Amino acid sequence: MQKLPETLRENVRMLGDLLGENLLEHQGPKLFRKVEEIRAFSKQLAKSDRSSDAHKEAVESLLESLSQVEDADILPIARAFNQFLNLANIADQHYFYSSEAREEDALDEILENLADAKGKDDLYKLVNELNIELVLTAHPTEVTRRTLIRKYEQVAKALSDLRRNDLLDYEVAQIKESLQRYIEEIWHTNEIRTTRPTAVDEAKWGFAVIENSLWHAVPDFIRHLDSVCRRRLGKPLPLGITPFRFYSWMGGDRDGNPNVTHKVTEQVLLMGRWRAADLYIKDINEVAGDLSMHAASHELLELVGEDSATPYRDLLHGLRNRLQATLNWAEARMNDPMLPEPANIIHSRNELLQPLMLCYESLHELGLSQIANGSLTDLIRRIHAFGINLVPLDIRQDGDRHVELLDELTIYLELGSYRSWDEEKRQAFLLEQLESKRPLLPEEWPVSEDSREVINTCRVIAAQPRETLAHYVISMAQQPSDVLAVALLLKECGVRWKMPIDPLFETLDDLDRAPRVMNALWQMHWYQRYIDGQQTVMIGYSDSAKDAGKFAATWAQYKAQEKLVSLADQHDVKLNLFHGRGGTVGRGGGPVEKAMASQPPGSVKARIRVTEQGEMIRYKFGMPRVAFASLSNYVLATLRATETPAPNPKPEWRELMENMAQASLTAYRGVVRGHESFVPYFRSLTPEQELSKLALGSRPPKRKASGGVESLRAIPWVFAWTQVRLNLPGWLGTRQALEYGLQNEQDTLKDMQQNWPFFNSFIDLLEMVLGKADTSICAHYEEQLVDKDLRPLGEQLRGDLEALAGLINTMKEQPELLENTPLLQQSINIRKPYMDPLNYLQAELLKRERKAGEISPDLERALKVTMTGIAAGMRNTG
């Protein structure tokens, strides 16, 4: 079996030792010895076979050791195991994104191979057409405090520094001293937020990711891509190439979040302009320092004066003044909404680019190309990527809010009840109003607070520079009228540009209905003029999986995309599919390469839009080197999916998938909706209710405060099952699907597994979900927390999971899960001895709190620490 690389082992061991030294110094030898004892028993448990007597003995020894812990020591012990898991993640992430862990430059290789197959000119054109849109969304699953994230980044940087070959002994000693200090700082920092972040706080966090990481990684990557293109395709890339654009939902996503108001959206937009201006001022100061030369083009000298000794600096001085004015105004406007705009502030990307391009062209004209291609080029590329507010904002709203507003309006105007009209009547009314030149909204009318908020949001959109906003996303879109309604409201509120409107199809029924809805829209003459041949459609992964189970939802998503691509081609519409993925497999997460390779053929076409959510933003983009590798992965995956897409599924594959999906859907809903014990079992087994103690994000965990499990958002739904290590949303119903295939069409199933990347990727991700699960841990929660009359359901679910693992092993002809991905298996094994004690502590603390009604503040904090620690160990939460 392939072993973990020694560099990774050494880093894990070193960080663990430093944490141990910190415990010994600050908590004393007694607690240090207890932690070591628990860790030793937990390691024995991890090494034992689950079905063996040795496993039972190891569990008993570990539980006995934990039972002897005094209440005063529970919190520091939980913190110790929590922090080790976070440090192990840093070592893991540092290694797998380092040059040692990566193969030779895959980007160079794929361009070489595609150039041979496609031709250099066509491939060059394709690279120029790359349009990868990454949408950073609010992070309700990011359990780690920002202050700790910064300290973890310092640890990662120190690990990188230690890899240098030119270090002197004293420099090594200094770095290790720094590591010891960082870990001491981490230990003495409260890992639990005391207050829930606001929507503005979330936006600040998103801006920080750009400033600290993507600001550096994007121009570095484009410079690398340009170098590879020069070498393999014989031509440099255009200066303004933008393979990546970044967008945000932070401060714009108001679906089910009453804390995101029009005032919050306006503040976040202003904050983006302020932060962008601040970053550009710093960059211009650097560029101006580089451009000290006195020779310049005639065109440039005409602007600054023929006698200027530093023409480039003089020109940039004017731009810097405009940026400073923008910064000052945006900062003041956040406190005074009525403050008028000065005449000289920046409103568009072109206003930033014009003087910089003049400098660039002047330098080239004078033969100073090396200087032009330095920091000036990086700044120009940043402006193309980040614009005037770093991340243009998407607005997301539930479609029913627009229906409610129009219902209030038509009743007030004595036109009848819009809500009660059928779809044909709604469309006729909306299209008539869209073509009309008369205003529809009265100046004053008795509109509800919720509907007034929708109107105010649209008016904020109308008042902002176009470049600061991106798309309007409609959650729970069901009919063409849902899209037309948004277009009408934007028009009535003064939006004079054609803001892209993205219907989001989420549930199983919505996905099935999506092609019919879009076909109807694309046949409307008014709508054809509105979209001008461009359409984005969002596919929801979270709610569809929660509604139908992972297997049925995945197949429904695939079919919907296929049909949408075909219809778009028929209507000559350039379709961009927007993938609403979460961090976990149960919410559409997984490696970028597998996700892109499994898309329906023709659905990528060099363009993709995808959400990056929760803690995955930090894992993928939190540090410049990591972000560089992630951007490279996206380009590689997009090029492959465009040029070498997966084959169309054979008719027999489709037929089998339909039957398997139906078997899975029936099994999934039979448990989640049909089993009378399911809801009480879920609520008693998992810490679903207690998760609200964690101040994770600004959005409430439920769409409706009074709703039950059906109203629970997909994130806490997944988070709760992850905590007890059952990972149910990622696999429930799949056993029945695979059993159907193996019993009825075994040869076809094998053919799919070997020759269809879509299905093969699904099985690989499913195997990873099961590899992270632990039925014995789940059984312990059940024993401690669940009434005996509910336990038969737990036995059924755990039996399902174990049977499913056996089916996957049979299909893959392997003795155990993850046999062919040993590094992943060992990475999980490294974490297991530190997660298991946290799970056992969590079960005990939940038991105590539920029995007594409350526990001491220290024990409640320990309970929260177990939640964040298990989340860190599982590497994702929701």
Q: Which two tokens stand for residue 243?
A: 């393979």
State residue 714's pLDDT score.
66
Which of 384, 402, 471, 546 is labelled catalytic? 546
Distance CA 577, CA 594 (A): 17
Which of 139, 151, 471, 864 is labelled catalytic? 139
State residue 4's pLDDT score.
56
Residue 587: pLDDT over 60: no
Residue 97: pLDDT over 80: no
Give pLDDT tens digits for 129-148.
999 999 999 754 455 677 88
Q: Over pLDDT 70: what percentage of the chain?
A: 94
Give pLDDT tens digits for 256-273.
889 999 999 999 999 999
Residue with the bigger pLDDT between 310 and 149: it is 310
Give pLDDT tens digits for 435-445.
999 999 998 89
State residue 700's pLDDT score.
63
* Nearest residue to 870 (alpha-carbon basis) of 702, 731, 694: 694
Residue 85: pLDDT over 50: yes
Mean pLDDT of 701-714: 56
Mean pLDDT of 858-874: 93
Give pLDDT tens digits for 208-251.
899 999 999 999 999 999 999 999 999 999 999 999 999 999 99
Averaged confidence pLDDT in the chain: 91
Residues whose CB is less than 8 angstroms from the CB of residue 96 and which lie 6 or more positions away in sequence, other chains included: none
What single letter denotes the amino acid at residue 799? Answer: G
DSSP 536: E
Residue with the bigger pLDDT between 698 and 500: it is 500
State residue 51's pLDDT score.
78
Kind and range of the H or E element at 611?
strand 607-612
* Nearest residue to 505 (alpha-carbon basis) of 566, 452, 548: 548
| Reported confidence tier of residue 302, pLDDT bands at 50, 70, 90 | very high
DSSP H helical ranges for 338-422: 349-365, 369-371, 377-386, 399-412
* Nearest residue to 5 (alpha-carbon basis) of 106, 107, 105, 94: 94
Give pLDDT tens digits for 618-653.
888 888 888 998 999 999 999 999 999 989 999 999
Q: Give 812: exposed, middle or buried? Use CB within 10 Å, 0-12, 13-18, 19+.
A: middle
Query: pTM to 2 decimals?
Result: 0.93
Residue 588: pLDDT over 60: no
User: Is residue 546 annotated as part of the catalytic site, yes or no?
Assistant: yes
Residue 816: pLDDT over 80: yes
Kind and range of the H or E element at 482?
helix 480-492
Residue 103: pLDDT over 60: no
Residue 773: pLDDT over 50: yes
Distance CA 237, CA 107 (A): 15
Q: What are the two backbone dihedrals, phi and then psi, of residue 652, each rounded to the nearest 5 degrees?
A: -70, -30
Distance CA 484, CA 634 (A): 33
Give pLDDT tens digits for 350-389.
999 999 999 999 999 999 999 999 999 999 999 999 999 9
Mean pLDDT of 179-207: 89
State residue 878's pLDDT score.
40
User: Is residue 216 annotated as part of the catalytic site, yes or no?
Assistant: no
Residue with the bigger pLDDT between 360 and 585: it is 360
Token look-up 């009434």 returns 787
State residue 102's pLDDT score.
56
Give pLDDT tens digits for 144-156.
677 888 888 899 8
State residue 426's pLDDT score.
98
State residue 73's pLDDT score.
96
Give pLDDT tens digits for 399-440.
999 999 999 999 999 999 999 999 999 999 999 999 999 999
State residue 3's pLDDT score.
54
